[in-house]
Amino acid sequence: MRVVLDTNIIVRANPQTSPGGLAKDLLLTVATGPHRLVLSPAILAEVGRVLRYAHVQKRWPLSDEAIQTYLTLLEESALMVVLPAEMPLVVSDPDDDPILQTAILGRADVLCSRDAAFRAPAVEHVCRTNGIRVLDDVTLMQELRKSA
């Protein structure tokens, strides 16, 4: 199964989080196979940007070096998709469009997010048309555990 994880899940799976958390378990389950983590430079850039926000640093203090190491590990464990310079806008939040485009171009089976923007009718239609299921992290983890 090819899986795109939304930025909020990847951020919550960062190296400062405790082992056994849902986001970290989900990331490790997807990234270590037999499934494929699908990412793009746009997603990695957003993860790096979010991990540097003051309120995120307060919760998970990561140095620039630790953030870069995390991003490199993500890149090395993922199928990387290069997004075109111009993309059609579908999601109400422009920051979410690269996530949807990564799922489409990476031929993902699942786009995993808690973001309600991915539940909008236009987004659901685009996902259905491309064979992508939108699941939250709890549902995806349950599905992965059942299939293991």
Question: Can you tell me the distance from the alpha carbon of 120 to that of 104, in angstroms, rounded to the nearest whole number?
Answer: 17
pLDDT in the model for residue 113? 95
Burial level of 132, CB count in 10 A (0-12/13-18/19+)? buried
**Average confidence (pLDDT) over 42-64:** 97
How many residues appear in the chain?
A: 148
Q: For 71-93, how does the pLDDT look when each residue is reduced to its tens digit (9 = 90+)?
A: 999 999 999 999 887 766 666 67
Find out if CATH 3.40.50.1010 is the number for domain 2-147: yes
21 and 59 Cβ atoms separated by less than 8 Å: no
Hey, which bits of 9-115 come out as E strands? 36-39, 78-80, 110-112
pLDDT in the model for residue 36? 96
Tokens of 119: 């539940």
**pTM recorded for the entire structure:** 0.93
